[in-house]
Amino acid sequence: MITAILVNYCTAKQTISAVQSVVSQQAIQTPEIIVVDNSASDTEESLLREGLPDDTVCIVNSENRGFARACNQAFERSNGEFILLLNPDARLLPNALSKLQNSLKTLTDAGAAGPRVYWDDNCQFLMPHSTFPGIVDFYKETVSRLHPRLANYKSLDFRKKALKIWTATEPITVDALSGGHVLIRREAILKCGGLFDERFFMYWEDSDLMYRLKKAGYRLYIEPSARCLHYYEHHDKKDRIIAQGWSAYQQKHLTNKLSYQLVNWLNQRLRPVPSPMTESIAIKHNKLILPIPRKLEDHWLLELGVTPQMIPAIGCFGSGPAAEVSPILFKRLQKKNYFARLSRPIPHSNLVYYWQWQGYSPKFD
C-alpha cells in the first residue's frame, strides 16, 4: 500500500486538487492519504474538511510547525509500504503512481523514485533536476572561477545532466530527488534514520534525506514514464527561506570537513564567475516572446533560470521562429531578474543567445 503525505499551509484549494490527483490514480490499491494542516486557520481547516475525501486523515496543528516536522507527524501515523510526498502545488498525471511503485518494486537497489516533472499543463516546460550539494559540486564551482575560459564549466556540467534526464526513456539514476514529488520505500526511510531531520524548518530537508538514503546504500531514480506537474512559483521571499535551510545543511554535513573548509576558503577569495553578455527583452501583456535565429529554427532548447549560469534551469525543447512563455507561466517568476538561454539541445553548443528580464510584479496589474 502507498501512503500519500501532503502538508498544507494556507493553500487548501491547491491541497485538495493535489489529493484528487492521487485519488484518481489507476492500477493501484487506493492510497492512504494523510494531510497535515500548518495554517493555524479555522477557514483553512474548514475548506480541507469539506473538500478532502471522507477517509483522509487530517492532522491540524495549532501553529506552523514547519514542513519537516509536519511530514514526520504524518509518517508516524502512516501504514504504507511506500511513502508518497507531494506538494500542494503538484499534480500527478494519470498512472504516475503505479509506474513509480513498479519502479521501486523492480529496482531492488532503489530507495526512492521520482517522476518526470513539468511546469505547465501542456507538458512543454521541464522542471530542473535536483542537485546534491556535496564537496564535488563545490570543487566544480572553484574550477569555474580559476580562469575565464573555465567559467562555463559548472553550467555546462549541469546542462549535460539536465539533457540526460530530460531525454531519458528508461529509469535513470540521479544525485538527488525533490521532496515535493517523490515515492520512497518505507524500509529505506527506517534504515537511514527516519524521514526528515526537524532541524530543517523548510527547504534542504529533502537534500538531507537523499544524503542519508545514499549513505545507507540506496540509489535514487527518475522514472520518466511517470509524469507530474509542479506549478512552481519563485519570488524573493523564497530565496531567504532557502538560505536559512542551506545554513542548517552546511552545519550538519559540511562545516566540519577539511575538504569543504579548503574549497570554501578558495571560493571566498577567487573572483566570481563572469556572467555572459545578455540582451534585455521587453515584456508585453505579461507574455515573454523570444525570437529564434534562423540557424536554430529547426531545433532549439530554451532554458529559464534565476542566474545567468542557468543553475538551476527550466527547459523547453522546440522548433520554429519564436519561443513563448505564456502569461500564466510568466507570473510565476516574480520580483527579480531572470535569465533565458537559447541554443541547440546538445551539451556543448556554438550558437548560444542570452536574454534577461524583470520578473512579474502583481502591483502593476
CB atoms within 10 A of CB 108: 9
Count the alpha carbons within 13 Å of 15 in the hemisphere toward its beta carbon.
29
Domain that holds residue 343: 279-364
Q: Under a CB-based contact definition with an 8 Å cutoff, are residues 197 and 205 in contact?
A: yes
Residues 50 and 171 both lie in one domain: yes
The residue among 51, 128, 54 whose CA lies nearest residue 88 is 51
Residues 74 and 218 both lie in one domain: yes
Average pLDDT, stretch 212-235? 96
- Please tell me whether residue 192 adopts helix, strand or coil conformation: coil
Separation in Å, CA 210 to CA 134, 196, 227: 11, 10, 21
Range from 66-80, 132-146, 167-181 carrying the lowest mean pLDDT: 132-146
CB atoms within 10 A of CB 224: 18
Average pLDDT, stretch 161-171? 97
The residue among 194, 218, 230, 229 whose CA lies nearest residue 103 is 218
Residues 190 and 287 both lie in one domain: no
Write out pLDDT tens, residues 347-359: 999 999 999 999 9
Percent of the chain with pLDDT over 90: 79
- Please tell me whether residue 303 adopts helix, strand or coil conformation: strand
If residue 1 lies in a helix (H) or strand (E), which one and from where to where?
Answer: none
Residues 168 and 25 both lie in one domain: yes
Domain boundary among 236, 264, 297: 236
Residues 87 and 173 both lie in one domain: yes
Domain boundary among 236, 252, 271: 236
Residues 222 and 352 both lie in one domain: no
Residues 203 and 120 both lie in one domain: yes
Q: Structurally, how many domains does the chain consist of?
A: 2
CB atoms within 10 A of CB 75: 21
Residue 52: the pLDDT is 98
Question: Is 140 within the bounds of a domain?
Answer: yes
Question: Is 44 within the bounds of a domain?
Answer: yes
Count the alpha carbons within 13 Å of 113 in the hemisphere toward its beta carbon.
26
Average pLDDT, stretch 106-135? 95
Q: What angle do helix axes 205-215 and 67-77 make, rounded to 10 degrees?
A: 50
If residue 136 lies in a helix (H) or strand (E), which one and from where to where?
Answer: helix 135-146
Average pLDDT, stretch 56-66? 96
**pLDDT: which is higher, 301 or 285:** 301
The residue among 10, 226, 274 whose CA lies nearest residue 98 is 226
Residue 163: the pLDDT is 97
Cell 509536519 found at: 70
Question: Is 316 within the bounds of a domain?
Answer: yes
Residue 234: the pLDDT is 84
Backbone angles phi and psi of 246, in degrees to 5: -65, -40
Question: Is 222 within the bounds of a domain?
Answer: yes
**Average pLDDT score over the chain:** 94
Q: How far apart are the first and last CA of the chain?
A: 46
CB atoms within 10 A of CB 275: 13
CATH number of the domain within which 332 lies: 2.60.40
Question: Is 261 within the bounds of a domain?
Answer: no
User: Is pLDDT at 315 greater than 60 in this prediction?
Assistant: yes
Question: Is 70 within the bounds of a domain?
Answer: yes
Domain boundary among 203, 236, 269: 236
Question: Is 311 within the bounds of a domain?
Answer: yes
DSSP secondary structure string, 242-254? HHHHHHHHHHHHT
At residue 95 the predicted structure's pLDDT band, cuts being 50, 70 and 90, is: very high
CATH number of the domain within which 8 lies: 3.90.550.10
Q: How far apart are CA 217 and CA 288, in angstroms?
A: 44
Residue 365: the pLDDT is 57
Q: How far apart are CA 33 and CA 57, in angstroms?
A: 6
Residues 199 and 311 both lie in one domain: no
- Please tell me whether residue 121 adopts helix, strand or coil conformation: coil
Q: How far apart are CA 119 and CA 97, in angstroms?
A: 18
Residues 33 and 172 both lie in one domain: yes
Residues 86 and 149 both lie in one domain: yes
Residues 30 and 141 both lie in one domain: yes
Provide the whole-model pTM. Answer: 0.95
User: Is pLDDT at 294 greater than 90 in this prediction?
Assistant: yes
Question: Is 252 within the bounds of a domain?
Answer: no
Percent of the chain with pLDDT over 70: 99
Q: Under a CB-based contact definition with an 8 Å cutoff, are residues 353 and 342 in contact?
A: yes
Strands 90-92 and 82-86 turn out to be: unpaired
Average pLDDT, stretch 113-125? 98
Residues 190 and 334 both lie in one domain: no
